[in-house]
Chain A
């Protein structure tokens, strides 16, 4: 079978779906080159709605924490309840709602 000479690169796609939202990862595409990746991402992820902006990033340019490193990276977040407001008594009698000016 005539396999293509080197499959096109993989790209991660980020979309700002609406004003006020951050760009969100929506999926990935395969394309030879950034122009093609943007065009494919446009056809694939923006057929509906009123999207504002689109990014593509080469998948191999994303550096990630590997599963083996999960503990060194994330174990430290456990057991620190004092990082949350519920750890402390509310400021007023009404409970936590009283913390906020309404």
Chain B
């Protein structure tokens, strides 16, 4: 696999006959009806975009699953599994939509279990290893504040199915955000040890936060057509909100001297190979299986 998703996006764009008109986003039809008229090319641009969001939710959900039975207290096993469950739910909706829109008819499971690691387009932030609890909390802080802004904006997009998803997901993510905010405050204001670890957790994940707001040609085009929200304008609000939480906890918002990028084009961390290998292992051991 050598192509990056950006290249594929560009090719896909050539097929687009016209910009999506608001209220008539193609491809998302009533259930039971073919998603698109047979002659129309698949809406791979939007599909690629949804795949990115779906991969974010899937991969972060997978990471949180690794906490279960290992959390600092049993209550936290419960809390993290609740969040994981919501994230897997988001992934299922988004991957299903993506598979329907891209014209391949792939199901959520086809997309989750048969793609190779280079085909996944989640941000590097979501795949970062769990680290200690503070690293996980820092990752949750960054992601949940981003997701809540992003899903809120998605709730206003013209595609009715996607808007409905955004409206549902934003409510769930609001609780995840509360969970992250409270832990940042508790760890920041707890003991010297917890404050040190929390600060270190923030330093660890902060270089990976910028990628959440990256805009490439695909996103710019979809945003310009009004199909999906543009992520870049969300960033100042995100900055302001996370800064409030972090400084309120007596901690410092890191100013990274570098930033990570690559997940959106399928260039992942080395640890990601293990994550995907684990995710797909049973499915791959039993070709042709039904589950």
Q: Do chains A and B touch in the complex (CB under 8 A)?
A: yes
Decide if A43 touches B79 in the complex (CB within 8 Å).
Answer: yes
Classify the secondary structure of B's interface with A. helix
B83 closest partner in A (C-beta) = A43
B197 within 8 A of A: no
B36 within 8 A of A: no
Interface residues on A, range: 10 to 19
Decide if A44 touches B182 in the complex (CB within 8 Å).
Answer: no
Decide if A29 touches B182 in the complex (CB within 8 Å).
Answer: no
Chain B positions within 8 Å of A36 at CB level: 75, 182, 186
Chain B positions within 8 Å of A43 at CB level: 75, 78-79, 82
A31 within 8 A of B: yes
Task: Give bound CA distance, A38 to B146, whole Å.
Answer: 24
Decide if A31 touches B75 in the complex (CB within 8 Å).
Answer: yes
Contact with A along B165-203 (1 / 0, CB 8 A): 000000000010011001000100000000000000000
Task: Give bound CA distance, A39 to B178, whole Å.
Answer: 9
Could you tell me which residues of chain A, from 35 to 51, have a CB within 8 Å of some CB in chain B? 35-36, 39-40, 42-44, 47
Highest count of chain A CB atoms <10 Å: which of B75, B82, B178, B179: B75
Task: Give bound CA distance, A44 to B179, whole Å.
Answer: 15
Q: Least Cβ distance of A15 to chain B in Å?
A: 16
Task: Give bound CA distance, A47 to B175, whole Å.
Answer: 14
Q: Least Cβ distance of B141 to chain A in Å?
A: 16
Task: Give bound CA distance, A29 to B79, whole Å.
Answer: 14
Q: Least Cβ distance of A12 to chain B in Å?
A: 16
Contact with A along B67-86 (1 / 0, CB 8 A): 00000000100110010000
Can you name 16 A-B pairs with beta carbons within 8 Å?
A30-B75, A35-B182, A36-B75, A36-B182, A36-B186, A39-B178, A40-B75, A40-B79, A42-B175, A43-B75, A43-B78, A43-B79, A43-B82, A44-B75, A44-B78, A47-B82
